[in-house]
Amino acid sequence: MRWFKPGIRNSISALLSPETRKDSPESLEPVREAMLAVLGEEGAKANPQLTRKLKYLHDAHALWFARAEMVAVLSQLHGEALAVHRVQSLSPVFQGLVPKSLIDAGRSRRS
C-alpha cells in the first residue's frame, strides 16, 4: 500500500512549491531595496547575476536564502567579518515575512 498517492495535489512538493509561498510585491519591495542597498554599487558590478536575482525573486524565503550569496560577494570586496555584519543587519526587514526561527538561527550562528 502506498503512503502517498501520486495524484494528491496537497503533497509535500505542492506545499513547498513557489505558488503557495508567493508574497505580495508590496511586502517584498522594502526587502529588495534593503538588500540591494547593502550589496551596493560595487557589489552589483562584481556580481550582476545576483543583482538581477534579487530584483526578480518572488518570495521572502528565496530572498532570505539569497543572503548567503550576498555574503560571498561582499566577502570578496570587504572581508568576511564586514560582509556578515552587513547581511545580518538585514534581519529586521524580514520580520513577519519569514518564520522567527529562521531569523533567530541567522543571529545565533554568527554571534
Structure confidence by residue, pLDDT tens digits, 78-105 = 999 999 999 999 999 999 999 999 888 8
Asked whether residue 73 is domain-assigned, the answer is: yes
- How is the chain split among helix, strand and coil, in percent rounded to 5? 75, 0, 25
Q: How distant is the alpha carbon of residue 110 from its chain centre?
A: 17
Orientation angle between helical segments 25-46 and 48-56, nearest 10 degrees: 180
* pLDDT, tens digit, 9 for 90 and up, residues 58-71: 999 999 999 999 99
Q: How much is the pTM?
A: 0.76
Q: How many domains does the chain have?
A: 1
Structural domain boundaries enclosing 91:
28-109
Asked whether residue 3 is domain-assigned, the answer is: no
Asked whether residue 8 is domain-assigned, the answer is: no
Q: How far apart are the first and last CA of the chain?
A: 48
Asked whether residue 52 is domain-assigned, the answer is: yes
Q: Mean pLDDT in the chain?
A: 84
Q: Is pLDDT of 27 > 60?
A: yes
* Backbone angles phi and psi of 98, in degrees to 5: -125, 160
